Chains A and B, each alone.
Chain A
Amino acid sequence: DQQVKQNSPSLSVQEGRISILNCDYTNSMFDYFLWYKKYPAEGPTFLISISSIKDKNEDGRFTVFLNKSAKHLSLHIVPSQPGDSAVYFCAASATGNQFYFGTGTSLTVIP
C-alpha cells in the first residue's frame, strides 16, 4: 500500500531549462513533506521541505509546491544543471518522524 507515489521513474531535461518532479500522496493526515536527492552509493541528502500550512517554499533554484486538495506536491528546479542529475525522492509524514517515501524519479540533466 504505497501512500506516496512518484509516477515518473525518469525525467530528462536540457541544461538551463526547468525540471518538474511530481509526487502524489493518499493520506490526508500527512502534514510535512520533504524532497531528498540521492546519488549512487550515497545516502539521500535533504533538499527542501514544506509544511501543510504553506503552499510554496523556495530555496535558491529549488521550489516546492503543495496542493493539499489534490494531495499533490511538485519540485521545480530552475535553471537545471548537470550536477542536479540524481534520483529524487519525496517523503511525507503525519508525525514528523515516520516518513513514507515515494519510489523516486531519476533526473538526467543533459549538458
Chain B
Amino acid sequence: EVQLLQSGGGLVQPGGSLRLSCAASGFSFSSYAMTWVRQAPGKGLQWVSIINDSGRRAYYEDSVKGRFTISRDNSNNMLYLQMNSVRVEDTAVYFCAKDITAASPDYYFDSWGQGTLVTVSS
C-alpha cells in the first residue's frame, strides 16, 4: 500500500524558514516524480513545485521561485520542501503527492500525503 507520511509543519514568523518532509513507502519511490500542492484555509488547490524521479530537475510556481527548494533523498525514500523567506500568504495546508506514472511523469497525482499546516504569522 502506498503511504506518504508528512511532517514538519507549524507556526513560523514572516521571513523565517521551515522544512517539510514526506516519507514514502509502498512503492518504488526513486521511479516517480513527486510534487507539493498547497491549499490556503478555505481556498482551492495550488500547485507549488515538482521534482523528477532522479532529483535532477525541478519546477516551481512563480510566487515561490527563489524562496522554496524541493529535494529528495531516494536512498531513504524522502521528499522535502525547504521554505525560506516565508510570507503570510504562504499560510496553507501543504500536501505531498506522487505522480501517476513511473519514469516518464504524467503530472497527475494519484497518492497524497495527509497534509501539514504551515502558518506564517508574527
A and B co-occur in one complex? no
Please report B residues at the A interface, Cβ cutoff 8 Å. none
